[in-house]
Structure 1
Amino acid sequence: MKYKMLILDIDDTLVPRGGGISQKNAAAIQKAREAGVYVTLATGRGYYGSSHVFRELGLDTYVINYAGAVINDTRTDKPIFVTELDNSFVQEILAMADDMNLHAHLYQGDRIVYEREHPYASAYCAALNLPYSIDSDIRKKTWQNVPKVLIITEPERVSELLPFFKKHFENRVEVSASSPGFIEFNRLGANKGTAAELLAARLGFGRDEVAAAGDNTLDLELVRWAGLGAVVADGNPDVKREADVIIPACAEDGVAYLIENYILKDDANGIMRNSGEKKDVQARL
């Protein structure tokens, strides 16, 4: 079997918006694990926010959280790798969000901190059952141990705001989009691709032995780095162009399709692959 490690994004790849893990995806993941494939997750979510997913799947593995800023061990509930945003960048992002009338919050471990009540923040914390605190002095404090800052806006504004923030923070901060309306900020070099490379090396897997699946720009470096990079059919067009294989949409059990038609087979018959060589991960930690 060529692919010995499978790394899956959660939202809109494994789990559809507002839904759960389908029986077909869960069964395929279990089948892959029984065949000896090391299955794990790479998500923008924090550890607590992703815990019900890996526990439902019975994964006792390392998990990539905060879009690559943290790698956690599910057996000990402790991180083995952490990278954080400098306070200067945290404050710059918060100030820009305030000036642009955008909601932004930072993470301290799995706790969310934001400046004032906002319906986006309330909905986000409720959806993931996350602990949070409101701090009116958030922009006056010096913050440490911040793996990520998140801006939440209307989904239709992301196409305008993402290029703006990418240009503003070029070569200073990682900026990417995840779920609709989410713009994520991590330390430069902290992304799913670099985290996957670190984790694969720790586990003794070569790049060519790793397959991965995602949907949005938060998954771009992971898709580029993996020996087999898959993107769901309803994923971001820019990310799809970088994929080796396009799989069915999240709601159509694309993960199960990938496992059944490629991971558990030794050839790529019947799967359309994009031309071109794999691109190296752009940033290194």
Structure 2
Amino acid sequence: MPITENENNMKYKMLILDIDDTLVPRGGGISQKNAAAIQKAREAGVYVTLATGRGYYGSSHVFRELGLDTYVINYAGAVINDIRTDKPIFVTELDNSFVQEILAMADDMNLHAHLYQGDRIVYEREHPYASAYCAALNLPYSIDSDIRKKIWQNVPKVLIITEPERVSELLPFFKKHFENRVEVSASSPGFIEFNRLGANKGTAAELLASRLGFGRDEVAAAGDNTLDLELVRWAGLGAVVADGNPDVKREADVIIPACAEDGVAYLIENYILKDDANGIMRNSGEKKDVQARL
């Protein structure tokens, strides 16, 4: 239910965090320092949520470890899920014509591509990138040799996985090819993501913030790559980690330490919980947890 009265008087009342390479380093987990800072922010009344390219299942262990229990933005903004019901409250899908165009281009360029059906991924043939991806996120998958002959519905995104060094060449190519037709962005090294036009983390953040009763200037967000660009631009305070994409860093209001250096904790301690008037850290114990009202 929407919040009609915010229960804290801090400048930033909502914090939206990207997961991979912002909150969680590659191959690692949530650091104790980041987890403690997030808990402190929540105790102070800050609404904390995640905006990730991952699907619901792939992000579930992260939001459950943090104790987040309301909403999460998945598939780079294509879906907003209600954690309490395990069901979406907002969904966009990529039209089958675009799905097939992406799959055909990937095949012609000898690139691995897969689509999503719920939290299951589907791809045409075995590929080491696909195996590694599914193993890393513990995702169910299926191999369908007829993938390019079918009419697919409810596809939130298509993902191409390639060598990280090729992304700088391929990303602008795909952006130009699908201009004004499909959202194209990069997330983790080697990942190029395709969503419905207009479906991105920024638009999803705006929708969720409005639902919760927060204005744009009350929202802080952190990310690292072009998948986070619209989110960083939209938020009242857009933060990017020091080792993030240079193009995204240029759009940031603030640069925070790298993911491996607990940049999220730095953001919370220095911008979210700090009193604007005197620069003193707020006492989180004095605030109510706004999430209890949702």
Give TM-score scaled by structure 1 length.
0.94
Is residue 202 of structure 2 the alignment partner of residue 190 of structure 1? no
- The alpha-carbon deviation at position 237 of structure 1 amounts to 0.3
Answer whether contact 1:224 1:280 (CA < 8 A) is retained: no
Answer whether contact 1:43 1:67 (CA < 8 A) is retained: yes
RMSD: 6.2
Can you list the C-alpha shifts for 1:146-183, whole angstroms capped at 9, x where unaligned?
00000000000000000000000000000000000000
Runs of at least 4 residues off by over 3 Å: 268-285
21 and 100 in structure 1: CA distance in 2 versus 1, 3 angstrom threshold: same
Answer whether contact 1:189 1:283 (CA < 8 A) is retained: no
232 and 280 in structure 1: CA distance in 2 versus 1, 3 angstrom threshold: farther
Give the match's secondary structure for 2:293.
Answer: coil
Match of 2:115 among 106, 123, 126: 106
Higher mean C-alpha displacement, 72-81 vs 268-277? 268-277
Give the match's secondary structure for 1:270.
Answer: coil
Give the match's secondary structure for 2:27.
Answer: coil
Can you list the C-alpha shifts for 1:7-45, whole angstroms capped at 9, x where unaligned?
000000000000000000000000000000000000000
Give TM-score scaled by structure 2 length.
0.91
Q: What is residue 59 of structure 2 aligned with on the other side?
A: 50
273 and 112 in structure 1: CA distance in 2 versus 1, 3 angstrom threshold: farther
Can you list the C-alpha shifts for 1:44-84, whole angstroms capped at 9, x where unaligned?
00000000000000001210000000000111110000000
49 and 74 in structure 1: CA distance in 2 versus 1, 3 angstrom threshold: same
Question: How far, CA to CA, are the matches of 2:103 and 2:278 in structure 1?
Answer: 49
126 and 176 in structure 1: CA distance in 2 versus 1, 3 angstrom threshold: same
281 and 151 in structure 1: CA distance in 2 versus 1, 3 angstrom threshold: farther
- The alpha-carbon deviation at position 265 of structure 1 amounts to 1.4
- The alpha-carbon deviation at position 267 of structure 1 amounts to 2.8
Is residue 263 of structure 2 the alignment partner of residue 280 of structure 1? no
278 and 231 in structure 1: CA distance in 2 versus 1, 3 angstrom threshold: farther
Answer whether contact 1:97 1:104 (CA < 8 A) is retained: yes
Q: What is residue 15 of structure 1 aligned with on the other side?
A: 24
Answer whether contact 2:54 2:74 (CA < 8 A) is retained: yes
Is residue 244 of structure 2 the alignment partner of residue 251 of structure 1? no
Can you list the C-alpha shifts for 1:205-233, whole angstroms capped at 9, x where unaligned?
00000000000000000000000000000
18 and 247 in structure 1: CA distance in 2 versus 1, 3 angstrom threshold: same
Answer whether contact 2:44 2:289 (CA < 8 A) is retained: no
Can you list the C-alpha shifts for 1:175-194, whole angstroms capped at 9, x where unaligned?
00000000000000000000
Answer whether contact 1:72 1:79 (CA < 8 A) is retained: yes
271 and 180 in structure 1: CA distance in 2 versus 1, 3 angstrom threshold: farther
Give unmatched runs, 5+ long, in structure 2. Answer: 1-9
- The alpha-carbon deviation at position 266 of structure 1 amounts to 3.1
Q: Which has the higher relative contact order, 1 or 2, with Cα contacts under 8 A spaced 6 or more apart?
A: 2
Higher mean C-alpha displacement, 76-85 vs 269-278? 269-278
Can you list the C-alpha shifts for 1:65-108, whole angstroms capped at 9, x where unaligned?
00000000111110000000000000000000000000000000
Answer whether contact 1:193 1:281 (CA < 8 A) is retained: no
Percent pairwise identity: 99
184 and 275 in structure 1: CA distance in 2 versus 1, 3 angstrom threshold: farther
Question: How far, CA to CA, are the matches of 2:287 and 2:177 in structure 1?
Answer: 28
Answer whether contact 1:194 1:284 (CA < 8 A) is retained: no
Question: How far, CA to CA, are the matches of 2:256 and 2:136 in structure 1?
Answer: 27
Give the match's secondary structure for 1:276.
Answer: helix
Question: How far, CA to CA, are the matches of 2:173 and 2:106 in structure 1?
Answer: 12
Q: What is residue 33 of structure 1 aligned with on the other side?
A: 42
74 and 210 in structure 1: CA distance in 2 versus 1, 3 angstrom threshold: same
